[in-house]
Amino acid sequence: MTYASGRTYLDADSHIMELPSFLNDHADAAMRGRLPSFVFAGSGKMGEDKIAELAKRGCHDPSTVAELVALGDGILQGPKGYGALGAFERSERTKALDLLGFTQQLVFASFSTGPVFSAETPELARGAMRAHNRGMAEFCADDDRLLGVGAMTLDDVDIALAEVDHIADLGLAAAWIPHRAPATGSPGHLDLDPVWARIVERGLVAVLHIGGSTLRMPEIWTRNGRPLAKDWLGGGENVRGKDLIAVHHAVERFLGVLVFDGVLERHPDLRIGVIELGAGWVPSMLDRLDSVLHNFRRMEADLDSLQRTPTEQIRAQMSFTPFVYEDVGKLIQASHSDLYLFSSDYPHIEGGRDPLGRFESTLTGIDEDARERFYCGNFAKLRSAMHNVA
């Protein structure tokens, strides 16, 4: 018996928990030792000493694997983070997916995109990209159900074009792009058109994901005369309640700029997944963008040149994963059933211990066609652009 059964489930968000030497292990020879190591013990109830032990072994010990496999369809009730089955070792991940029952899942990094997205020099950025992407391809190589996600930036057009090709040549399914302004200007700048075109040409999907821009509210907004609360995992590196007020602001701005700069109209085959950034803000974004277009197109030639409304563009070319605590039924009723994707966030604790149950509880009164779109149909539409894997 698997956790998921009775229909096809396509999981739009899962993760690898990278071991500390992940980047250097996969770096070009000239970059080896120059890229950072990392351990985030807050990602699960496991200390740094235990993670160092796992890194030395490269896998869980056989008795632990047996205990985790014995959880069966209750696998999500077990350990999270580094303690989860298949968190960092690929043959264990195949066992985990056998128990989860998902037909396929996108696989994102947890920590190693930081050096990609915020490198101090183009050389370090490119070195981190190449190492990250090799590591992701290696993890996903032996199981067709694992759709690996590469990472790149738009800061340098030549580097971006080269990395799109590298990501595709590695057999990865998607390119994770940080949802911040590139170094040279708008993400809708005409100079970046060759990059968007190459993403389409090489059969990749562009994805935006939490961590692609600042997670936390600027420190000044936390000064309220009272002690700073611990984050929801009990530490200091994850989000707090105030942070979630604004976590979608950067991605909403990024997407709106793409629409109004005409990127989706110039590249109608481009597909974009917006992952682990919630979706409660999506209906209001659609209304706001349509209203701006209606009220400003007479004064702005760029807006007047758009042939489709923002809602039409976004419905055709974008998809969004709700957080596990969001009401998917209300989102569908407030907008459109072709926008939203199921995700588990495995093995991160943020995905909860019964994401299917929690999502299903919000779908009362939603017809079967819309449910099917949420659990697999909308992902399949996104996947149709993944020529490497579809």
Kindly state the greatest CA–CA separation across the chain. 68
User: What domains, with CATH codes, occur in the chain?
Assistant: 10-210+247-383 (3.20.20.140)
Beta bridge partners of 105: 11, 146
Confidence of residue 236 (pLDDT cuts 50, 70, 90): low
3-state DSSP of the chain: CCCCCCCCCEEEEEECCCCCCHHHHCCCHHHCCCCCCCCCCCCCCCCHHHHHHHHHHCCCCHHHHHHHHCCHHHHHHCCCHHHCCCCCCHHHHHHHHHHHCCCEEEEECCCCCHHHHCCCCHHHHHHHHHHHHHHHHHHHCCCCCEEEEEECCCCCHHHHHHHHHHHHHCCCCEEECCCCCCCCCCCCCHHHHHHHHHHHHCCCEEEEECCCCCCCCCHHHHCCCCCCCCCCCCCCCCCCHHHHHHCCHHHHHHHHHHHHCCHHHHCCCCCEEEECCCCCCHHHHHHHHHHHHHHHCCCCHHHHCCCCCHHHHHHHHEEECCCCCCCHHHHHHHCCCCCECCCCCECCHHHCCCHHHHHHCCCCCCCHHHHHHHHHHHHHHHHCCCCCCC
What is the structure's pLDDT at 334?
Answer: 98
323-354 core/surface letters (b: 16 or more CB in 10 A; e: else) = bbebbbbebbeebbbbbbbbbbbbbbbbbbee
Residue 351 pLDDT > 80, yes or no?
yes
Per-residue model confidence as pLDDT tens digits over 120-170:
899 999 999 999 999 999 999 999 999 999 999 999 999 999 999 999 999
pLDDT score for 76: 98
Per-residue model confidence as pLDDT tens digits over 85-104: 999 999 999 999 999 999 99
For 171-205, what is each residue's pLDDT tens digit?
A: 999 999 999 999 989 999 999 999 999 999 999 99
Whether 247 has a pLDDT exceeding 90, the answer reads: no
Mean pLDDT in residue range 102-119:
95
Phi then psi dihedrals of residue 15, to 5 deg: -140, 155
Q: What is the pLDDT of residue 243?
A: 73
pLDDT band at 241 (very low <50, low <70, confident <90, very high): confident
Q: Residue 43 — pLDDT band, cuts 50, 70, 90?
A: very low
148 forms bridges with which residues in the sheet?
107
Q: What span, in angstroms and rounded, lies between the C-alpha atoms of 122 and 28? A: 15
How many other C-beta atoms are found inside a 10 Å radius of the C-beta of residue 202?
16
Q: What are phi and psi of 228, to 5 degrees?
A: -70, 130
Contacts of 91 (CB under 8 A, 6+ apart): 59, 142
Given this model, what pLDDT does residue 389 score? 66
Please state the rounded mean pLDDT for residues 206-215.
88
pLDDT over 90 percentage in the chain: 81
Is the pLDDT higher at 51 or at 386?
386
- pLDDT band for position 225 (cuts 50, 70, 90): confident
Residue 246 region, left (φ>0) first, then alpha (ψ -120 to 50), else beta? alpha
Model confidence at 250: pLDDT above 80: yes
Q: What pLDDT, on a 0 to 100 scale, did the predictor assign at position 42?
A: 46
Reported as a single tens digit per residue, the pLDDT across 54-75 is 888 888 999 999 999 999 999 9
Q: What is the pLDDT of residues 1-42, one digit of tens each?
A: 899 999 999 999 999 999 999 999 999 999 999 998 876 544
Model pLDDT, residue 36: 87
- Provide the token pair at 70: 């014995």
Q: For the ranges 35-44, 251-260, 316-325, which has the lowest average pLDDT?
A: 35-44
Q: Interior CA angle at 333 toward 327 and 335, to 5°?
A: 100
Output the pLDDT for position 237: 56
C-beta separation of 32 from 24 below 8 A:
yes
Q: pLDDT tier at 212 (50, 70, 90 boundaries)?
A: confident
Instruction: State the Cα torsion 268-289-208-30 to the nearest 10°.
Output: 80
